[in-house]
Structures are given as C-alpha cells and as structure tokens.
Amino acid sequence: MKEKADEKFMRQALDEARKGAGFTSPNPAVGAILVERARILARGYHRQAGADHAEVDCLRKISGPVPPGAILYVTLEPCSTRGRTAPCVDYIIERGVRRVMIGAVDPNPKHRGRAIEMLHRAGIEVSTGVLESKCTALNEAFNKWIRTRQPFVIAKCGMSLDGRLTAPPTDSQWITSVQSRHDAQELRATVDVIIVGAETIRQDNPRLTVRIRSANKQPWRVILTRSGRLPHNANVFCDSHASRTLIYRKQRLRTVLRDLGRREMTSVLLEGGGEVLSEALDQGLIDKVQIYIGAKLTSGSVLAFGGKGARLTAESFHLKSARYERFGHDVRVTGYLESPARIVLK
C-alpha cells in the first residue's frame, strides 16, 4: 500500500511538471508536491528558464515551517549547482524538509547523485526511483542534450499510404485530417526549433508557428538552403516572429544540429521536405518519428523518406516502443529509431 501511495503522489508531481513542458528549455520540466498525512499542502513546477525551480516554487507556498512529517515529491533530482538560479537543494535543506521522494536522478554525469548525497549529509531521508521511467521520459530531449550537447531530433510528416508528402500537382487538398494537423500543432508547441528545407518554403510558404497556445511559445524556425535563393515575401520572413528565423546555407544537417545544440536548443522538429527527412534518416540523426498516414494513395512527386536506403533489410532502422493511434481516418505512428548496429549487438 505504501508503494502505491508514493506512486499516486508522484503522478501528481508529474502532472505539475507537464504544465511546464515545452517552456523550460534548456532546463528540464520538473514538478513537485509537498504531502503530509496523505494531504497535499502545496504544489509547484518549473515554468521557464530563470524562474523558480519546482521545489522552490512548491515550498514557497508554505508560509510557516514545513511540518516535520511532510514528504516532498519531486520528479527529478534537485539541482546542486548554481546556474540561472541558486541550487534548490540548499533551499530544501534550509526549509527543514525531512523526507524527499525523487522520481529520476540527474541525467548529467557531472552532477548525478550529488544532491542526493547533500540531502543525506543534512540528515534528510531520500528515496529514489518512484515512477522513474515516466519521470525520465518526460525530459527525453533534455536528457540527450545535457549528455551530448546535441538536440533531440523528431521527424514529423503527414504522408499518403504510398509514402508521398505531396498530392497531385493540380490538387491543393491536405493529405491528412484536421485532427492530425491539430495534433501536430501540439507537437510543435513542445520543441525549440522547427527545420524545413528551402523547397518547402518555396512551394508551401508555411508559417511554422504554434497556433494553439500562447504566443509566449514560438519555436525558432530554421531554413536549410543550398543556393540561398528564398522568396523575400515568405511568411517566415514577414510575420511577427521573423526575428526567430535562421537560415543555414550550404551546411550539412549534422553541422546545423551541432550549432543548434551550442545555442542551447534541446529539441528539433524536422518537418520536411523529403530531402531533409531523407538526409536525416540516411545519417542516423533521427531520435523519434511522429508520422501521420492519411488514407489516400496520391502518387505524388515527393517521397517522405526517399534517401539512399538500406542495402539489406537487416540494415534498416527499426522502430521501438511503437504506438499506433487513430486520428479521424488517419493513423499516427510514433516511436524511437534504433540503429542497425544496436540491433546486431543485441
């Protein structure tokens, strides 16, 4: 029964953390709750980089002393070093918290376990691993970036049953449904950067904006071009977010991703076109896919992933943790790419 109670409260802390998902980069999304005798006394979450961390946000809502029997549930190991804010492990100790339940430990090898040790030295009881997989999954982009300084790359596209990104040339209809396009907007709202190729700008003139949430969250827009010839009146150069549009000319996608990582951009959404998606797949740069398959066969001119391809089926990328969901008449496929080398090693 005790374990179930801890999971119940950690789920509530995860609910808090999700409020900040997509807004905290380059920091992780973290939630915290303070519980005494199965009653939640305070809740908190990290809203954005530079704002109070979840533990501080939660504990500051307790005006008096923290009750000696209270337990602080936090989805991620508290920070132990000074960054934009002071180490929140110090504030936990200062406020007199006596028990802390941690979901996932710090993914940064330089800091991993340091806060736990500090809490132990202060006489605080610490438990870890409560809903660890869920707490870890919440920050998959941050977890990769903090270890490698490379952004987490999601390939997203809407394609026909025959793998095409385009409809017949004289047809302007969407391949995917309204439900799929709305869901894709939700994904846009979680990333730092959207990348497209120059041909997508020329042919589709997309806005590449988030149109379902506050304008406070607008990803950077990156255009990849070889020639540098782009329409000056394109939406991405003329709208209110034009200052958040970057152009990379004659640079390989791998190089662009490295530069974005140096700029503290932790998550990237590849939205096309076919050349960009194909290059990403051929070079093994994709971490996750989110593909919407419309119930149409278009025989369009642009393949979603029309790169070099694998020489043998055994050398193909495999999808792990795959999920299939219906959106109207469409099917959404999500999963993580596993390289052929890793599959062979198993």
Please list the active-site residues. Answer: 55
Strand 99-104 relative to strand 71-76: parallel, antiparallel, unpaired? parallel
Angle at 253 between CA 291 and CA 230, to 5 degrees: 90
Q: Are 21 and 217 in contact (CB under 8 A)?
A: no
Cα gap 44→19, rounded to integer Å: 10
For 92, phi and psi rounded to 5 degrees? -60, -45
Q: Are 40 and 34 in contact (CB under 8 A)?
A: yes
Using the structure block, give the residue that is written with the tokens 């501080």: 56
Q: How many helices (H) and strands (E) does the chain have?
A: 12, 13
| C-alpha separations of 237 from 204, 245, 246, 247, 279 in Å | 14, 7, 10, 10, 25
Q: 205: which DSSP letter?
A: -
What is the three-class DSSP state of 12? Answer: helix
Q: Which two tokens stand for residue 275?
A: 């050349």
Q: Is the backbone of residue 96 left (phi > 0), alpha (psi -120 to 50) or beta?
A: left
Q: Are 22 and 46 in contact (CB under 8 A)?
A: no
Residue type, 20: G
Cα gap 220→228, rounded to integer Å: 19
Please list the alpha-helical segments (H only) found in 159-265. Answer: 178-188, 198-204, 235-238, 253-262
For 194, phi and psi rounded to 5 degrees? -115, 130
What is the three-class DSSP state of 290? Answer: strand
